[in-house]
Amino acid sequence: MNDMNRRNFLSNAAVMGAGTLGAGSLLTSCGGAKEPALVPLRPESEWNIPKEVIPDKARDGVHLKAGIIGCGGRGSAAAQNFLDAASNVSIVALGDMFPDRLQTCRKTLKNKYKVDIPDDKCFTGIDNYKKVIDAGVDVVLICTPPAFRPEQFKYAVNAGKHAFLEKPVAVDPVGVRSILADAKKAQAQGLFVVTGTHRHSFRCYIESYKQIQSGLIGEIVGGNIYFNMRQLWYKSKEKNWTDMEWMIRDWVNWNWLSGDHIVEQHVHDIDLFNWFSHQKPVKCTGFGARHRRVTGDQYDMFSVDYTYEGGFHVHSMCRQIDGCENNVSAYIQGTKGAWIGGGEGRKDHIITDLKGNILWQFDFEQEKADFQQLAPHTLEHVNWINHIRDNQPINQAEETAFSTMSAIMGRVSAYTGAQVTWDEMMGSDMNLMLDDLTFRNMDMSQFVVPVPGKAKQ
């Protein structure tokens, strides 16, 4: 013990115990008396994590040809993540509604990766996804606005393609149920599906999950999840744009396209809690408001009280306003201690006992010494490609659909002021998709900011 940093000792002991001997056999006092044996929350065979530590790059194997559907910021970044994740992979087709976005992505791939996509493999228009999927690809990366993902995933599954599906996977209950049905179909066909919930591939979260499942904090009894950040981007309408084109280009600010930011971004934190607890909410009550948003019909903030299947409560908070206190993190309370985990910019993945003493802490410096690839957006593609090449099933679509539905519950409750239940949402016929997606002008008065409750008469 004298030759070891105490933090590293506890960290390594907990990790070893979670994966092999049982942490109770390792976490002992210096006087020799054993601490009480940990009681795992569930057997290791039920743990929802990669079977191995995700390496810097995927293993060599069969060549994989990819098509990119949605060439905006996320699609262009995902294309680069895919190429960085493995050797013997290629991007052979691009699709986007707008030629300018496609050409920007095409230019980036050519300049940075020497990937030259020919004209006859570049597709635009509302049905570009069909042409990409039918262009001789093995896998597709679906990175369009969330409203379009259920239909595009359906087409990919029916065509027998492995899919990377960005989060959230839908914006309404009809879309969620579509994803759930096609997730089962994909599984039956032996297709491999990974979603954009990249924390599942972030080593610090995976190791934190191991400690919690090994019983280090005891039974989960509650928590807090936060996604409070600056305002996101927006697009002012240009003269040559129709109303429809403007909304799709400005999609992150419109409820029917993004699901509002509680669904589009805060789904990460809701998914994290669902993942760590192996539960989902049964009901929620929330509120929200709009003060600063420049375009669209969404809120700036949400606060939601979720009741989970175990009877405990989780407070969910998200905000997108400049000049406010930012906080992207999660706190999970157990009967014996608590876990605190930060977002990508924070380095505080720790477990404490009930008195605040640190029992375990992820060693980011050791990770840097052991690995070169630290970006979770790339590691999720490493994990996906390894599953494909090893023929080891993976299908994250269902769990991300459940997390998406959890977020939709919070949005609906905040918009209406009503308590919303899981069963109500699963049976709801709510469908936000517009009937006519042609680039046209329309009556924009139909897009109003929701006001909950009733005004005093």
Q: Is the pLDDT of residue 103 over 50?
A: yes
Average pLDDT rounded to a whole number, residues 361-378 = 96
**Amino acid letter, 249:** R
**Per-residue confidence at 303, pLDDT binned at 50, 70, 90?**
very high
Q: Which residues contact 303 (CB under 8 A, 6 or more apart)?
A: 286, 287, 288, 315, 316, 317, 414
Cα–Cα distance, 14 to 369 (Å, whole number): 20
Domain boundaries, the chain: 64-198, 203-374+396-446
Give the DSSP H or E segment for 10: helix 6-16
- For residue 345, the model assigns a pLDDT of 55
The reply to whether 203-374+396-446 shares the fold of 64-198 is no
- pLDDT tens figures, 46-65: 999 999 999 999 999 999 99
Question: Quick check: 220 and 41 in contact, CB under 8 A?
Answer: yes
Nearest to 318 by CA among 307, 335, 333, 330: 330
- For residue 359, the model assigns a pLDDT of 97
Q: Which of 40-44, 157-161, 341-345 has the lowest mean pLDDT?
A: 341-345
- Tell me which DSSP letter residue 148 carries: G
Average pLDDT across the chain, whole number: 92
Average pLDDT rounded to a whole number, residues 80-104 = 98
Q: Is the pLDDT of residue 27 over 50?
A: no
Average pLDDT rounded to a whole number, residues 159-173 = 98
Q: What percent of the chain has pLDDT over 90?
A: 89
Q: Is the pLDDT of residue 81 over 60?
A: yes
Class of domain 203-374+396-446: alpha beta
Cα–Cα distance, 150 to 159 (Å, whole number): 14
Q: What percent of the chain has pLDDT over 70?
A: 91
- pLDDT tens figures, 339-365: 999 865 566 899 999 999 999 999 999
Q: Is the pLDDT of residue 21 over 60?
A: no
Q: Which CATH number fits domain 64-198: 1.10.3720.10, 3.40.50.720, 3.40.50.300, 3.90.1300.10?
A: 3.40.50.720
- pLDDT tens figures, 115-152: 999 999 999 999 999 999 999 999 999 999 999 999 99
Q: In sequence order, what DSSP letters do the residues of 399-422 get, joined into one string?
A: HHHHHHHHHHHHHHHHHH-S-EEH
Cα–Cα distance, 330 to 315 (Å, whole number): 10
Sign of CA dihedral 253, 257, 259, 262: negative
Q: Is the pLDDT of residue 20 over 50?
A: no
Nearest to 19 by CA among 150, 214, 163, 176: 214
Helices (H) and strands (E) in the chain, counts: 15, 15
**Amino acid letter, 283:** K
Average pLDDT rounded to a whole number, residues 192-209 = 97
Nearest to 212 by CA among 276, 279, 280, 278: 276
Q: Is the pLDDT of residue 15 over 50?
A: no
| Structure tokens belonging to residue 60 | 């060599």
Q: Is the pLDDT of residue 110 over 70?
A: yes
Question: Quick check: 42 and 18 in contact, CB under 8 A?
Answer: no
- pLDDT tens figures, 263-274: 999 999 999 999
Quick one: 439 exposed, middle or buried, by C-beta within 10 A (0-12, 13-18, 19+)?
A: middle
Average pLDDT rounded to a whole number, residues 213-219 = 98
Q: Is the pLDDT of residue 66 over 80?
A: yes
Question: Quick check: 77 and 104 in contact, CB under 8 A?
Answer: no
Q: How many CB atoms lie within 10 A of CB 191?
A: 23
Q: Is the pLDDT of residue 6 over 80?
A: no
| Structure tokens belonging to residue 210 | 């191991």
- For residue 342, the model assigns a pLDDT of 83
Q: Secondary structure of 188-246 in the HEC alphabet? A: HCCCCEEECCHHHHCHHHHHHHHHHHCCCCCCEEEEEEEEEECCCCCCCCCCCCCHHHH
Average pLDDT rounded to a whole number, residues 422-449 = 97
